Structure 1
């Protein structure tokens, strides 16, 4: 397996692969100032000549999507820590990672290339679309929908039944009690729209 992105986030994903006894061939990264992470070599930025399984180990949602679009020849796999609590009735799509201490409950769908970070909690019947990042200690109540590319900041919580649009930013510690439109940046308790993402 190759990990695309040699950063702190990559270190956490590498340790999940080690926990699962999955051999790591190396990291793919354009940062020429580093030669290795742990004992794993850093390869050239381009993955065009690499074949095999891969996980994108970069936290930025737009960057992950761009890498996938440029490297469709790779076989993307999911990594789920043994220390996560995953319902047998949950569905997690390719390329997604679930970190230690996370909980994913019954009838949850998690899309492609998502991050469910340390101690995040996703309750029953939630839908998490592709390229979403749920930061550490995020808490989603039941029947929440999070649109493609949205980043939910550390410690944010969302009450039941709320729909969050695509490519939103939910600020750290925000308390979301009503629906959030596409591209909105919301912060506070209760969460309020501050501006809209434009890129």
Structure 2
């Protein structure tokens, strides 16, 4: 049976821990300097220790995409995926490692998901979508067919992206937005239809 450690100890880490335990995996520790004690019987060990159970697999359960990428750069454990038993995924879909595919997600045929992504509660990813690394798709979001999402992008809760649209890297899509046009890298887009209101330059 796979032993797992979690990088992160906050609210998102609780959801990921719940998901991993539902999969029947053995979570041995959570690492986060802001937390101590234990969470549902799992010890919270403070600062990450790369020598702790070196054969265990890791997940970086941190919602912020930029922070998750930075933590991945210093994590020495190999990775696993959290895939809740309620997920419906086509056998023709694929994903990399370090992903958190949470309760009630649906992934359709030929969707491709990179590494260290979060597909949060109830996300719908339709056919032929391509999702790059370190993306976070918030609860209830719908990506219609052939949508492309660039690295590090955050898509807010309940957003809808119509078929064939491209969202660039490190963009932000507001909650409830309806994306009907392509969104450039680093853009912040909100509303229905979604409009770019500003740009950021921080990953």
**TM-score, structure 2 length as denominator?**
0.95
Q: Could you list the per-position Cα deviations for residues 96-117 of structure 1 after superposition, in whole angstroms to 9, with x for gaps in the alignment?
A: 0111111000000010000010
Match of 2:201 in 1: 198
Q: Does 1:55 align with 2:59?
A: yes
2:12 to 9, 16, 27: 9
SS in 1 for 2:30: strand
2:133 to 130, 134, 139: 130
Q: For the aligned residues, what is the CA RMSD? A: 0.9
SS in 1 for 2:26: coil
CA distance in 1, matches of 2:41, 2:158: 32
Question: Any unmatched runs of 5+ in structure 2?
Answer: none
Alignment of 1:35-46 (within 5 A): 35-46=37-48
**Which stretch shifts more, 184-193 or 41-50?**
41-50
Q: Could you list the per-position Cα deviations for residues 68-115 of structure 1 after superposition, in whole angstroms to 9, with x for gaps in the alignment?
A: 1112x2111111111011110000110001111110000000100000
1:70 to 68, 74, 78: 74
8 Å CA contact 2:7, 2:48 repeated in 1: no
Question: Any unmatched runs of 5+ in structure 1?
Answer: none
CA distance in 2, matches of 1:135, 1:176: 15
Q: Does 1:166 align with 2:169?
A: yes
8 Å CA contact 2:123, 2:139 repeated in 1: yes
CA distance in 1, matches of 2:66, 2:98: 14
Runs of 4+ aligned structure 1 residues displaced above 3 Å come to none
CA distance in 2, matches of 1:85, 1:47: 35
Q: CA deviation at 1:183?
A: 0.2
Alignment of 1:58-137 (within 5 A): 58-71=62-75, 73-137=76-140
Q: CA deviation at 1:177?
A: 0.2
1:27 to 26, 30, 48: 30
CA distance in 1, matches of 2:177, 2:194: 6
SS in 1 for 2:27: coil
8 Å CA contact 2:89, 2:106 repeated in 1: yes
SS in 2 for 1:25: strand
CA distance in 2, matches of 1:94, 1:151: 19
Q: Could you list the per-position Cα deviations for residues 128-183 of structure 1 after superposition, in whole angstroms to 9, with x for gaps in the alignment?
A: 00000010000000000000000000000000000000000000000000000000
